[in-house]
Structure 1
Amino acid sequence: MAAVSGRLLLSSRGWFPFQFFVRHGSKAVTRHRKPMHILRQKLLAVTEYIPPKPAIPERCIRPRQQEVQEPSTLEKLIRRDVEMAFRENKMIAVFQNNSINSEELRLLRHRLLKHNIRMKFFPNQVLRSYLTDTKYKNLLPLFIGHNIIIVSKEPKTKELLQIVRSTTQITLLGACIENALFSRQGVVKYSRLPGLQVIRGEVVSGLTQMTSQTYQLLNNGPVLLTTLLEQYLKQQSEAATGQEDSTKVELKEAERSQGS
């Protein structure tokens, strides 16, 4: 009660507790940045450095990163057929399809089948993906647009050109014959070569002629030596016979002279 009464007495007399003044170090900001003059702003805007733009846009320099998509089941089947066609056939000719109609295409297929030559159709996307990592990659420039592939297990270029000659809606671009690449002119020259049997006969006849010439060259020396020896013996025998005859004549003359 005494404490409470003491507080009331102090408050009634106007007494307050001690107050402490703390001086802070920060001062009020009274200076503001002077705004830039309008002429200086214009001068800085005019003289601002603007980097030159590249001649080629950046989107053209950096190729787009395409997502690698896994081939579908149909593409895998077509790729397997392409691989079998290039592995099992010795002649693979590439033609450009110049809008040939279905009737002429059917007749052409029938004429080719008579010589066991077949016609194939494959998408260019699958062909390019297969040929990129093989030894036939030089054929890639031929597969542009609509193409027809004609294959056969034996190189029948002569029959192929004779059949295709009457069909003007397709054009020969190139071929791969026995693992060798040929242009259109190369295929034409290859078709003019003789058959394999004829070439083998020519090779055998050439080898036989060479062996016969070698035999003659090797045999000329002994034959000539034998002929010379025979001639020498003949001359020696004739000389000996002549000496004997002359001796006999001299003896006869000597006997006649003694008898007389």
Structure 2
Amino acid sequence: MKMDANRRKTTKGRRRNFLFKMAATLCGKLLLRQGWLPVTHCVRHGSKAVTRHKKPMHFLKQKLLAVTEYIPPKPPVSKRRDPQVKPNQEESGLMVLLKREVQIIFQECEMIAVVHNSATNAENMLHLKHRLHKHGIAVRFFPNQVMRAFLAGSQYSNLEPLFLGPTVLLVSKEPKVKEMLQALRAVPQMVLMGACIDKNTLLSLQGVVNYSKLPSLATVQGQVVSGLSLQTSQTAAMLQHHPTHLTALLQQYLTQKGQEGTHAGSD
């Protein structure tokens, strides 16, 4: 009897579990089809136990670290030397000779251009000299100290800030600006900074470019002469127009009078 009772309990339990599973699956499918989701989800997380805590540093250790902290030394203040020659310092013979040569260049040349040399190799410099020599432009090298000493007390003192780093002078007795710019385009390492044109005109880079776009002196003189000749010819034609017109009218009047006299004599 006990065996039968146990079998009945187990069969009832199995049926109950089977019915619960079937109901759960059916309810889940129906609810998912209708788009219903449960409001809360049960998610189980593992416990995160903190096993280590950062201990505060002892005050003696803090004092020791503060005392032994590395303090880098301050960089020394660099004293810039004045590149100009001091008045109480005597100039060397070479410097006097170079200053005299620079003075002669500024007196004789109509174009003096300051070019910054940005690491141009010897081959490019040789080609540039050859191109400039075709147009009568020379390349001259002078130390910046000499140029500043000469420009400091002259009328060209505004050119003094251009002499920083390696510089080159392009000089010619005639202002051949267009030819110089064409030659410098082939060497991008040579950068034009400014120029002195016609001995009294100081120009920047943009001023030099604008000056190169101007027509030549011969072209301007031809345009002026042609304009003046045109005006004089027009004035002479206007002055001669009235006497010529009057003479033609008188001539026509005389011919008409002669024709009328012949007709009257024949009648």
TM-score by length of structure 1 reads 0.61
Q: 1:225 to 1:159 in 2, by over 3 A?
A: same
- Return the letter of the residue paired with 2:202: L
The alpha-carbon deviation at position 169 of structure 1 amounts to 0.7
* Secondary structure at 1:181 match in 2: strand
- Return the letter of the residue paired with 1:109: K
> For residues 51-90 of structure 1, what are the alpha-carbon distances to aligned partners after superposition, in whole Å with 9 as ceiling and x for unaligned?
xxxxxxxxxxxxxxx6621211111011011011111211
The alpha-carbon deviation at position 235 of structure 1 amounts to 4.4
CA distance in 2 between counterparts of 1:232 and 1:80 reads 83
Partner of 2:237: 216
Matches for 1:155-174 after TM superposition, within 5 Å: 155-174=175-194
* 2:203 equivalent to 1:182: yes
The alpha-carbon deviation at position 98 of structure 1 amounts to 1.8
The alpha-carbon deviation at position 239 of structure 1 amounts to 5.2
Partner of 2:213: 192
Partner of 2:162: 142
- Return the letter of the residue paired with 1:185: Q
CA distance in 1 between counterparts of 2:189 and 2:256 reads 86
* Secondary structure at 2:182 match in 1: helix
Q: 1:135 to 1:228 in 2, by over 3 A?
A: farther
> For residues 1-40 of structure 1, what are the alpha-carbon distances to aligned partners after superposition, in whole Å with 9 as ceiling and x for unaligned?
xxxxxxxxxxxxxxxxxxxxxxxxxxxxxxxxxxxxxxxx
Partner of 2:89: 69
The alpha-carbon deviation at position 236 of structure 1 amounts to 4.2
Q: 1:106 to 1:222 in 2, by over 3 A?
A: same
Identity of aligned residues (%): 48
Number of residues of Structure 1 aligned to a counterpart in Structure 2: 181
CA RMSD in angstroms comes to 2.4
The alpha-carbon deviation at position 95 of structure 1 amounts to 1.0
Structure 2 stretches of 5 or more lacking a match? 1-85
CA distance in 2 between counterparts of 1:67 and 1:127 reads 16
Matches for 1:89-168 after TM superposition, within 5 Å: 89-168=109-188
The alpha-carbon deviation at position 216 of structure 1 amounts to 0.8
CA distance in 1 between counterparts of 2:203 and 2:260 reads 76
Deviates more, 1:131-140 or 1:230-239: 230-239
The alpha-carbon deviation at position 114 of structure 1 amounts to 2.8
* Secondary structure at 1:122 match in 2: coil
- Return the letter of the residue paired with 1:78: L
The alpha-carbon deviation at position 109 of structure 1 amounts to 2.0
Q: 1:230 to 1:135 in 2, by over 3 A?
A: farther
